[in-house]
Amino acid sequence: MKHNKPNTGEATMDTRRIANRLAAFGLASSLALVTGTALAIPFIQCPGDDLKSDGVTPGHDAVPEPTSPNYDPSVKCMHLIAGDGYVRMADGREVYIFGFGDVTGVDEDKVMSQGMLHATFPAPRIVLEEGQKFYLTLTNVGMVMRPDLFDPHTVHFHGFPNASTIFDGVPDNSISINMGSSLTYFYNIVEPGTYMYHCHVEAAEHMQMGMLGNLYVHAAQDRLPDGTTFANGFVHHTGNHYAYDDQDGSTRYDVEYPIQIGSFDVEFHDADENVQPLPFADMKDDYGMLNGRGYPDTVDPNPVTPPTKNGNFPSQVEDSRIVAKQGQRILLRISNLNVTRFYTLRTLGLDMEVIGQGARQLRGPDPDGNGPLLGKNVYYKTNSVTLGGGEAIDVIIDTTGVPPGKYFLYTTNLHYLSNNQEDYGGMMTEIIIN
Ligand SMILES: [Cu+2]
């Protein structure tokens, strides 16, 4: 919601409104006719992705071509849109969202038409490797259902140590992206851990509306040569994965699952869809979710029944079912990105060991300050973890000796074990030990 109108002319707003209406009816190609010279083609910056295609991925699409002279295997590119869409809650209700969608690999002149009304929730998962150079292009395709809005969007990589504020996505001290425009963010991925990302424009609104995603970075220690031996005697073997560059194997895991705590206030979403004043101070969430779904949808490996309001586009593609073989170590990358409250997640019958918090391994300082001695690991075991908005933790569940069966990860904010007026649902998922 904007409180101040920028100095756009009436004519500009009219053409934009018409263009949006046309786009809503699937006539996105008419956008060019209506907006004339104002039409912006998404501009992708991705080293190694050039117009001289190798024929595998024709066009300019944020996919580096191995045959390009600029190809660098350490470069990763993604292309997201920011816009709007719909999701379906576990009780069947269709809810309007703002959000991000993945258009990586889509030729740049098709991005506007493919991105409109195609936001997903949560936002597309971003998985990175420590040492990568990450180029993230964001194209603002506008909000089809809110043609009166001219909101910009950004990506804020929460917790990331940016070298400068320019790519931080906080609009007050960096730049944000207007409708029809694109910006490529650059990140030098120097630290592993569990992060998250969200839009930082009018954050209370845009985050409540769904511009929230899972983001984590795999440790470089995973990729050391087989048999690498550390001064303390720890030996790395190929195939072992670690949450952090721990140098002692204590954060080793076999399977990993991102779990994003979230919740929606459906009154707020309806007000936004229907161009009503937004109840900021009265925000009260009524759908508790993990990875954008309430139980039992949390354990459905398929996209949930897509909402009809955006043409059955599958806008919730992530489940949160946790599966492991007995004896495996499960890494849960838990983040909380809701706007309104703290949530507690609990396991029943399984210990959680908290090994990281805020994208940092829980370890004290190196005793003599110059290695190779390691600080003391200050991990702790618990059955419940409590996170406020913007917090992330890394938890390992060791299933050694755990009887096979079905276990639960659920909130102890018990009134959120519901899908609004439907009981027995909400913020809960299953841990299956085979
Ligand atoms: Cu936004």
pLDDT at 6 over 50: no
Q: Which residue blocks in 178-231 are alpha helix, DSSP H?
A: 203-208
Segment 334-358 shows an average pLDDT of 96
| 153 CA distance to ligand 1 middle (Å) | 4
Across the range 293-310, mean pLDDT stands at 94
User: Separation of 154 CA from ligand 1 center, angstroms?
Assistant: 6
**Could you state, in order of their start, the residue ranges of all structural domains in the chain?**
40-433
**CA neighbor of 145 nearest in space, from 197, 104, 95:** 95
In this predicted structure, the answer to whether residue 196 has a pLDDT above a threshold of 80 is: yes
Query: How remote is the CA of residue 99 from the centroid of ligand 1, in Å?
Result: 7
CA of 394 to the centre of ligand 1 (A): 27
Percent of the chain with pLDDT over 90: 77
User: How high is the pLDDT of residue 57?
Assistant: 59
Residue 422 makes CB contacts below 8 A (sequence gap 6+) with: 90, 91
Three-class SS of residue 242? Answer: strand
CB 267 within 8 A of CB 194: no
Cβ atoms of residues 125 and 321 within 8 Å: no
379-428 pLDDT per residue, tens: 999 999 999 999 999 999 999 999 999 999 999 999 999 999 999 999 99
Query: Could you tell me the distance, in angstroms and rounded to a whole number, from the CA of residue 140 to the centre of ligand 1?
Result: 9
**For 271, which DSSP code?**
H
CA distance 94 to 10: 33
Ligand 1 geometric centre to CA of 120 (Å)? 13
> What local confidence, expressed as pLDDT, does residue 42 receive?
81
What is the tens place of the pLDDT at every residue in 34-89? 344 444 578 888 888 876 545 555 567 888 888 888 889 999 999 999 999 999 99
CA distance 52 to 66: 12
Give residue 313 CA to ligand 1 midpoint distance, Å: 20
Task: Give the separation between CA 432 and CA 326, rounded to whole angstroms.
Answer: 9
CA angle 302/304/308 to nearest 5° reads 135
pLDDT in tens, 225-274: 999 999 889 999 999 999 999 999 999 999 999 999 999 999 999 999 99
Please tell me the distance between residue 410's alpha carbon and the centre of ligand 1 in angstroms: 29
The whole-number pLDDT of residue 28 equals: 41
- Choose which CATH entry (3.40.449.10, 3.40.50.970, 2.60.40.420, 3.40.1160.10) describes domain 40-433: 2.60.40.420
